[in-house]
Structure 1
Amino acid sequence: MSTLTDDEIISRCHDSATTILSAPQCSNRVVRITDSLVAKFGHFITAQEFRNQQVAQQYLDAGIVNVPTAHRFIQKGEIGYIIMDYVDGDTLDLASAKPMAAELAKVLGHIHQLGATRPGPLGGGPVSGVLWPEHEEVEFSNPDDLQHWFNRRSPNSEHTLNLQRHALSMCHLDFNPRNIMVNGRRIYLIDWSAAGYFPRFFEHILYQFLPQDLGFFNLLSPFLAPLSDEELESATMVVETLRHSQFHIFPGAKVSQRARIGA
C-alpha cells in the first residue's frame, strides 16, 4: 500500500483493464487495484465515509462481524477514493440471507451495543443516507441539536419529540444483503457511508424509506430486541418529520453538496 502514490492509485482505478467488482447500476464504482486492495470511488465518496469505516473496524468485534480495513482516502477534484482491503467472499441476496437471519440479527444487535454521547456520523461531520433530506446539510454537535432539528421541522407542532430518553447507539443505516459478504463463517459488513450514532430505532425505521429491503428486515426482526413503547412512539414521530423534511426546505438550512451538484 505504501509504495503506491495517489496518482498511481487513481490511474489504476480508471484503467479499462482493472477488474470492476461493483454492479453496473451502482453510482459508485469498486475496482480491484492489487491482489489485496480495492478502491471505492465516486462523486459522493467522502472522507467522512472513510472515517466511519475506520471507527467501525476499530471497535466492532471481528468474532461477530468484520469490517474491511480502510487504508487511505484520496480527493481528486469532485471524486473521492477509499482504498481498503479486498474481501474474498460472496455477497448475500434475500435467499442466501434467510438461513442466516439469526446470525445477521446478532450482528446488528452487536453494532447497537456500541454507544456515544454525540449524535451523527461515527467519525463526525454531516449526516448522509436516505433518511436525511438531500437538499440540506445536517450536522449535530450534541443530543440537544438532534432533538431541536426534529422538533423545528415536525409537521405536527402539538407533539414534542423527546430524544433525550433514548441512548445513542452505533447504527449502520444501510444494513441489507448487498452490503453483507460471507467467507466461510466470517461475515463482512461494507458501505459505512450512512453510519452514525442515533437511537437504535433509527435502524428499524430505515426500511420505511427502503421498501425494497423490507423483506430482509422482516427476516431479522423476530431475532432483534423489540422496541419499547417509548421507542415506538418516538419512531413514529421521527418518521413523520423525516418524510416532511424530504419535501420542505427549512429557512436558513445549509444547502448540501448533493443539491449543489444537482444529483
Structure 2
Amino acid sequence: MMQETYELFLNLKNGLHSKIDVFNKMLDTIQKEKRIIEGEKTFNSFDEWLTSHILFFGNDVIYRAKRLELNFGNPNEYFLFFPEINKIDYVYIDLIEYVNYAMDEGLDFGLLMYIYKNFLASLDCINSFSYASCEIKRENENLKTLMNKYISILREAKQNENNFLKWLNLNIFIFRKDSLFRGWRMQFKFSSPSQMFIFFEKLNRIEFVDILNDVGGRVEVQNAEDKQFLKEIKRTLKKRGE
C-alpha cells in the first residue's frame, strides 16, 4: 500500500507540473501575441481560454473549498482552493485511495493563486457534469442511514466478539492521519472504499464522509453515545500502533 501511494503521489506531482507548464505557456502567449490559437479556435484573452477548458468550478462541500477540474490531463485530478487560509491542494482520487499535494508558498503556488484571484474568483459556476447543482457533495439522508448502519455493525461486534481488538484488526481497512481532511481517517472492509469516518480532534468532531461525486457528502456524528463509542475505537486503534 505504501509503495502504491508513493507512486500515486509521483504521478500526482507530474500531473500538477504539466498543468503548471500549460498555464505558464498560455499566459506567456497571451502577453506576447495577444491571443491563443488552438487548432481552429482563437482565444483573445487568458480567461476566455481558461473557461473553455473548465469542466467544473464551484463549491465542494466535502472539502469546504473551491474545486477546479480541467478538461486536459488526468480526469481523476483536480485543484482545491482555500483562499481564506491561503492554501491550494492538488488531489488525485479514485475509489480506493487518494493523495494530495499541498501548496502554500513557492512559484507554483503564486501562479495558481494569481489565476484564482484574477480569473476564477469572479466566476459564479461552470458545470459540465450531471451534478444537481454547482454545490456538489451535499449532506443527505442516505449517508446518515449508512453511518448508523456501520455504527450498529461495530456495536454488535463489540458486544458479541470475544476479542474485539482482533476483530478490529481483521476488519480495519485504513486507519491513519489524513493530510487532506487534517484528521484521523478510519475505514472498514465492510463499507464502500469511498466511505470513511474522519476524526477532527481539535474540533471534538466526527464526520462520516463519502468522497464520490454523484452520491457523496459528509454528515456529523451527533449522537453523544455514538460519538463516545467511536472515540473509544479510535483510542484502541491508536494504542495498537504505538
Give TM class, smaller chain: under 0.3
Q: Greater share of strand residues, 1 or 2? A: 2
Larger-gyration structure (1/2)? 2
Q: Give the alignment's TM-score, normalised by structure 1.
A: 0.23
Superposition TM-score, scaled by structure 2 size: 0.25
